Amino acid sequence: MHTAKGFIEEIFLQGRWAARIACPPALVPAPGQYLLATSLSEPLPVLAQPLFSAGVCPGGFYAAPPLPASWLPGAVLRLRGPLGHGFSLPPGARKVALATQHTNSARLLALLEPALAQKASIALLCSQPPASLPAALEILPPASLPEILPWADYLAIDLPRDQLPGMLSMLLQGEPQSKRLPPRAGRVQILVQTPLPCGGLAKCGACSVELPAGKGQRLACEDGPVFDIY
Ligand code: FES
């Protein structure tokens, strides 16, 4: 974990990136990890903002939306991280599914370049995919998840905390049995969206997540925000 200053090189109003962030290489978060960022250009102290990668770029990374509307190009950021556990794409995965129930798939798309680099076929399940995605990607509606389960040998999901129980129920108890992914550590990972106000420093508990039996309650800021389901 490191602290350093970075700055906003560019803001994007549309598309899969919210901003291009310049920072030291050690601060660049891996897919699913995050930084806590405070803008030193804000006139009043504010809570640190979690920043997730939507892809790497020379000298830094692309931040996934949303970002505070008050952040402008040139703003200097105080950065702490990378924090938490991110996605672990298995090197042997050749059929990769990225699934979100909402419109923002940017945090999952940080896995795009690594998956393409290992020549995986990729399916993106998202209701509003951003423009300019590689043509090799298959775009499917979120409702296709039960059908994609038998195909994928790695599944990464991004969803809000309140949708976690329903997703776990579908993955762990859904029928028919033959359509579920065979349980194997690391085969299904879920990035759980929660507030991350302290990043584990104050043990505030705002990021608490209830996982399946045997795993119990965890802190998304330290134990996640990406969790193995099996
Ligand atoms: S964000 Fe405070 S304990 Fe996790």
Is the pLDDT reported for residue 185 higher than 70? no
Q: What is the mean pLDDT of residues 18-38?
A: 96
Q: Percentage of the chain surpassing pLDDT 90?
A: 59
Q: Percentage of the chain surpassing pLDDT 70?
A: 94
Residues contacting residue 201 through CB under 8 Å, at least 6 positions apart: none
CATH of 2-83, picked from 1.10.730, 1.20.120, 2.40.128, 2.40.30, is 2.40.30
Least confident of 51-60, 182-191, 201-210, 211-220: 182-191
Measuring CA to CA, how many Å separate 6 from each of 40, 42, 96? 10, 15, 32
Tokens read off for 25: 């290489």
For ligand 1, say whether the CB of 90 is within 6 Å of any of its atoms: no
- At 92-136, the pLDDT tens digits run 999 999 999 877 889 999 999 999 999 999 999 998 888 888 888
Q: State the pLDDT at residue 125.
A: 95
For ligand 1, say whether the CB of 11 is within 6 Å of any of its atoms: no
Ligand 1 pocket test: which of 207, 217, 218, 223 has the largest number of ligand atoms within 8 Å of its C-beta?
207
Is the pLDDT reported for residue 225 higher than 60? yes
Output the DSSP codes for 96-143: EEEEESSS--HHHHTTHHHHHHTT-EEEEE-SSPPSS--TTPEEE-GG
At 178, is the pLDDT very low, low, confident or very high (cuts 50, 70, 90)?
Answer: very low
For ligand 1, say whether the CB of 196 is within 6 Å of any of its atoms: yes
Is the pLDDT reported for residue 228 higher than 70? yes
β-strand partners of 100: 158
* Residue owning the nearest CA to atom 1 of ligand 1: 196
pTM of the model: 0.91
Least confident of 48-57, 177-186, 218-227: 177-186
Q: Which atom of ligand 1 is nearest to the CA of 196?
A: 1
Boundaries of every domain in the chain: 2-83, 95-228
Q: Which atom of ligand 1 is nearest to the CA of 221?
A: 4
Coil, strand or helix at 25: helix
**d(C-alpha 74, C-alpha 33), whole Å:** 24
Token pair 């995605």: residue: 133
**d(C-alpha 144, C-alpha 93), whole Å:** 20
Is the pLDDT reported for residue 181 higher than 70? no
Tokens read off for 194: 């929660």
Residues in the chain: 230
For ligand 1, say whether the CB of 204 is within 6 Å of any of its atoms: yes
For ligand 1, say whether the CB of 197 is within 6 Å of any of its atoms: yes
For ligand 1, say whether the CB of 66 is within 6 Å of any of its atoms: no
Q: State the pLDDT at residue 111.
A: 96
Token pair 């999901």: residue: 157
CATH of 95-228, picked from 3.40.50, 1.10.286, 3.30.70, 1.10.357, is 3.40.50
